[in-house]
Amino acid sequence: MPNEPVTVSRRDLLSLIGTLSGSAAMYQAMTSLGFAADSGYKGPIKLDGDPKGASVLILGAGLAGMTAALELRKAGYRVQILEFNSRAGGRNWTLRGGDSFTELGGVTQTCEFEQGLYLNPGPWRIPRHHRAVLDYCRRLGVALEPFTQLNHNAFLHATGAFGGAPQRIREIKADFQGQVSELLAKVTQQGRLDELVTKEDRETLMQALRSWGALDRNYAYKANLNSAEARGYVKDPGGGLTAVPIPSEPIALSDILKSRLWRHLQNFARYNFQTTMFQPVGGMDMIGKAFVREVGEVIRYDAKVTRIQQDEHGVTVTYTDLKAPGMPQQARADWCICTIPLPILGQLPVNVGGRMKAAIDAVPYSSSVKIGLQFKRRFWEEDEAIYGGISYTDLPIQQIAYPNSGYNSGGKGVLLGAYIFGPNAFEFTSLPPAERIARAVEFGAAIHPQYRAKYENGVSVAWHRMPFTMGCAGDWSEAARAEHYANLCQIDGRIVLAGEHASYIPAWQEGAILSSLDAIARLHERVVKA
């Protein structure tokens, strides 16, 4: 038909792209055409078909376990959960005044925060593309508010740079950008890019550098009202007779490079940390509590699993009732979804095949410490105009994060006074909890001198000391993933594993939920086809 316009359906286009360019390109195209979701989450799971009264025993009432319980019950399964702690949620956890917990080694801490203040010792932020977590929050009525990852007014700090004075993120970011732009503009003007960039592009590049780097008309990055709009003023524009603004002096490129403060800028650029991020209003455990409203009646608390034994008909789990130890108890079901963290699961007698056993043993857990500090007043807001966000430092505390709620309200506040990984995490974990807190106050005072006078109380969670995880999160090496990941996720007889460790986004709640949905979808297929 000669006059018909040439059109291609989206499906034809996608299959063409898939044929020519492979699945990665097709997925990319699907995303841009609105077909695919960001994290692989495809909306509420549909478990069609009759499970014929099948039963499932879930080990662990964290987000992975409770997701499985919620969805399997809805699909018609008989479900029970065994949980080690006296509460649900696992690492989805919030500490408030009056909460107490005992770490390995026997020290009990009681949180003394004022009412309304809290610390999220585990997960504390939700990226915009973690669609499964966001969807469960929506479905379960968990209210969200913004989590500020980048606050330009927070600090970057290095002990050996700028006399130890913390620098505003805004200044380091603007100056690094401005100085690099000036440098590139100079090189371009000297003709040294002539062989790399066309004349037309060079002209556009110069415009872009001037705009992006806040350069002047001579392509220099200098103190003036234009650069001040990026890096800030010595004196802000005001009103009346004292209104005249005074621009601030940029930091020289060499000083920025030597300070190494640039290394923190990636924390605002990386995919997982780009805006918008969220947190549940009132604490991260609002998610766990919302799940408990749905599945709480099937959770047996204080149940320490000691053995997992499968046969051709089902799975028998032996456990100790920690509130009434004595005779071992047993629970049995047709199937078992095990979310027990791998350092613990690796020690249990579990009759799975050699491949899954090797996978369980192949993943150590990272070390991490969080410390919450309550202060008499919100000096970071009142004195320094820091409302939410994170300061980064090369001190062992590594980060100070400011509360993302209750702004400008006066009164007391709780900071995340340390969020530690790497060697410092082992070193902090080795200290008694009270000394961890004292050290966090001492180190933090280098950035906020108000610490010393305004500190009131604190609480410290060292994840390797937590009896229910014995570590922070699965720390996969690329080699271990290549060799063991698929074996960890396969259904072994009547047992399947789930949790952040069975995902490509370890340590994120999204990984826990996605692994759980993937596991129950495969399990359900098996049950329905049987």
Partner 1 sequence: MMHPSANLRRAFTATMSAALLLLTVPAYTQGAGDPVFSPGYRFAEKTGEQLFANVCRACHMSDAKGATGAGTYPSLAGDSNLVSSGYPVGIVVNGQRGMPAFGEVMSDDQVAAVVNYVRTHFGNSYQDAVTAEDVRAVRR
Asked if 80 touches partner 1 (CB under 8 A), the answer is: no
The stretch near partner 1 (CB under 8 A) out of 120-128, 177-185, 236-244, 307-315 is 120-128
Least distance (Å) from partner 1 to the CB of residue 66? Answer: 16
Our finding on whether 255 is near partner 1 (CB under 8 A) is: no
| Nearer to partner 1 (CB atom), residue 96 or residue 465 | 465
Tally of CB atoms within 10 A around 207 = 9
Distance CA 98, CA 116 (A): 12
Work out whether 77 is an interface residue with partner 1 (CB under 8 A).
no
DSSP 301-351: -SEEEEEEEE-SS-EEEEEEETTS-SSPEEEEESEEEE---HHHHTTS-B-
d(CA 167, CA 40): 39
By CB under 8 A, tell whether 350 contacts partner 1: no
State which of positions 7-26 bind partner 1 (CB under 8 A): none
Q: Per residue, what are the HEC states of 38-56? A: CCCCCCCCCCCCCCCCCEE
CA-closest candidate to residue 350, choices 306, 319, 309, 304: 309
Q: How far is the CB of 157 from partner 1 (least distance, A)?
A: 13
Lookup result for tokens 């705009």 = 211
Return the residue of 67, 177, 367, 516 that touches partner 1, per CB under 8 A.
Answer: 367
CB-based contacts of 199, cutoff 8 Å, min separation 6:
none
Q: How many residues bind partner 1 (CB under 8 A)?
A: 69
Q: Give the list of residues 6+ apart from residue 396 with CB closer than 8 angstroms, or none.
A: 418, 420, 424, 427, 428, 439, 443
Least distance (Å) between residue 4 CB and partner 1 = 49
User: Measured between alpha carbons, how far is 475 from 89 in angstroms, rounded to an integer?
Assistant: 21
Q: Buried (b) or exposed (e) across 439-469, using 16+ Cβ within 10 A?
A: bbbebbebbbebbeebbebbbbbbbbbbebb
Query: Measured from the CB of residue 530, what is the shortest distance to partner 1 in angstroms?
Result: 32
| Neighbour count for residue 5 (Cβ, 10 Å) | 5
Is residue 350 within 8 Å of 371, Cβ to Cβ?
Answer: no
Q: Binding to partner 1 by residue 159, rule CB under 8 A?
A: yes
Sign of CA dihedral 246, 249, 250, 256: negative
φ, ψ dihedrals at 171, nearest 5°: -70, -45
173 binds partner 1 (CB under 8 A): no
Helix residue ranges, H only, 150-218:
169-189, 199-213
Query: Per rule CB under 8 A, is residue 64 in the interface with partner 1?
Result: no
117 vs 345, which CB is nearer to partner 1?
A: 345
**Judged by CB under 8 A, does residue 368 bind partner 1?**
yes
Question: What's the closest the beta carbon of residue 340 comes to partner 1, in angstroms?
Answer: 7
Q: Which span sits near partner 1 by CB under 8 A: 34-42, 177-185, 195-203, 424-432?
A: 424-432
**Can you tell me the distance from the alpha carbon of 191 to that of 201, in angstroms, rounded to the nearest whole number?**
13
Regarding 394 and contact with partner 1 (CB under 8 A), the answer is yes
For partner 1, the binding residue among 41, 77, 84, 118 (CB under 8 A) is 84
Taking the complex as a whole, the smallest distance from the CB of residue 471 to partner 1 amounts, in Å, to 7
Q: If phi over 0 gives left and psi between -120 and 50 gives alpha, with beta otherwise, what is residue 204?
A: alpha
Asked whether position 427 contacts partner 1 by CB under 8 A, the answer is yes
Q: Is 108 in the site for partner 1 (CB under 8 A)?
A: no
Least separation in angstroms between residue 413's CB and partner 1 is: 22
Residue 320: asked if its preceding bond is cis (omega within 30°), the reply is: no
Least distance in Å: CB of 267 to partner 1? 9
Please, what sign has the CA dihedral across residues 123, 126, 130, 135? positive
Greatest extent of the chain over all pairs of C-alpha atoms, in Å: 87
Output 184 or 359, the one with its CB closest to partner 1: 359
Shortest CB 156 distance to partner 1, Å: 13
Given candidates 87, 168, 231, 304, which one binds partner 1 under the rule CB under 8 A? Answer: 304
* Tokens describing residue 514: 């996605």
User: In this chain, which of 468, 489, 496, 501 binds partner 1, going by CB under 8 A?
Assistant: 468
Pick the closer one to partner 1 by CB: 185 or 342: 342
Under the binding rule (CB under 8 A), the answer on residue 275 touching partner 1 is no
Residue reference for tokens 């902090």: 428
Compare residues 179 and 509 and give the one whose CB is closer to partner 1.
509
Q: Which residue among 232, 421, 446, 483 contacts partner 1 (CB under 8 A)?
A: 421
Residues 439-458 that bind partner 1 (CB under 8 A): 439
Considering the rule CB under 8 A, would residue 344 count as an interface residue with partner 1?
A: yes
* Contact call for residue 472 and partner 1 (CB under 8 A): yes
Dist. CA 517–CA 523, nearest whole Å: 10
Q: Site for partner 1 (CB under 8 A): which residue of 466, 495, 520, 523?
A: 466
Residue 234 C-beta: closest distance to partner 1, Å: 30
Residues that bind partner 1 (CB under 8 A): 84, 91, 104-106, 122-125, 159-160, 260, 263, 266, 270, 272, 304-305, 340-344, 346-348, 360-361, 364-368, 394-396, 421-424, 426-427, 429-431, 435, 439, 462, 464-473, 475-478, 481, 500, 505-509
